[in-house]
Amino acid sequence: MKINFHLISIVIITSFLLGCNNPQSTDAKTYGKVDSLFISAVNNLEIAGAVALIAHHDSIIYNKAFGYRNIEAGTKIEENDIFRLASMTKALTAVAILQLQEQGKLRVSDYVYEYLPEFKNPQILEKVLPDSSFSAKPAEADITIHQLLTHTSGIGYGFQDDRYNALILKNNVSEGFGYDTRTARENIRKIAALPLLHEPGEAYTYSLSFDVLGVIIEEVSGLRYDKYITENILRPCNMNDSYFIIPDEQRHRLPNVYEPTEDGGIQLSSYPDTTYPCLNNRRFFSGGADLCSTAKDYYLFLKMLKNKGQINGHPVLQEESVKAILSKQSALNEGESYQGYAAWITNELGAQKGENNEGSYGFGGFFDTYSWTDPKADFSAVLLLQMYPNNNKKIHEKFQTLTYDLFQQ
Model pLDDT, residue 408: 73
Determine contact, residues 244/279, Cβ cutoff 8 Å: no
Model pLDDT, residue 4: 40
User: Can you say whether the dihedral through the CA atoms of 158, 163, 166, 167 is positive or negative?
Assistant: negative
User: Quick count: other Cβ atoms within 10 Å of Cβ 354?
Assistant: 16
DSSP H/E element including 371: strand 369-374
DSSP annotation of 370: E
Confidence of residue 28 (pLDDT cuts 50, 70, 90): low
177-186, 273-282, 305-314, range with the lowest pLDDT: 177-186
Pick the more confident residue, 273 or 90.
90
Count the alpha carbons within 13 Å of 1 in the hemisphere toward its beta carbon. Answer: 8
Cβ neighbourhood burial of 262 (10 Å; 0-12, 13-18, 19+): exposed
Q: How far apart are CA 134 and CA 41, in angstroms?
A: 45
**What is the total residue count of the chain?**
409
> Is the pLDDT reported for residue 406 higher than 90?
no
Confidence of residue 392 (pLDDT cuts 50, 70, 90): confident
Hey, what amino acid is at 372? Answer: W
pLDDT of 127-161, one tens digit each?
Answer: 999 999 999 999 999 999 999 999 999 999 988 89
Model pLDDT, residue 150: 97
Determine contact, residues 38/407, Cβ cutoff 8 Å: no
Confidence of residue 59 (pLDDT cuts 50, 70, 90): very high
Model pLDDT, residue 5: 29
Query: Domains of the chain by range and CATH?
Result: 1-47+58-81+384-409 (no CATH), 84-249+270-290+306-318 (3.40.710.10)
Q: What is the pTM of this model?
A: 0.91
Q: What is the mean pLDDT of residues 160-165?
A: 92
pLDDT of 310-347, one tens digit each?
Answer: 998 899 999 999 999 999 999 888 789 999 999 999 99
Going by C-alpha positions, the residue among 146, 203, 197 that lies closest to residue 168 is: 197
Tell me how far CA of residue 224 lies from CA of 61, 109, 149, 207, 229, in angstroms: 36, 23, 19, 21, 9
Going by C-alpha positions, the residue among 66, 15, 18, 125 that lies closest to residue 295 is: 66
User: Can you say whether the dihedral through the CA atoms of 154, 159, 163, 166 is positive or negative?
Assistant: positive
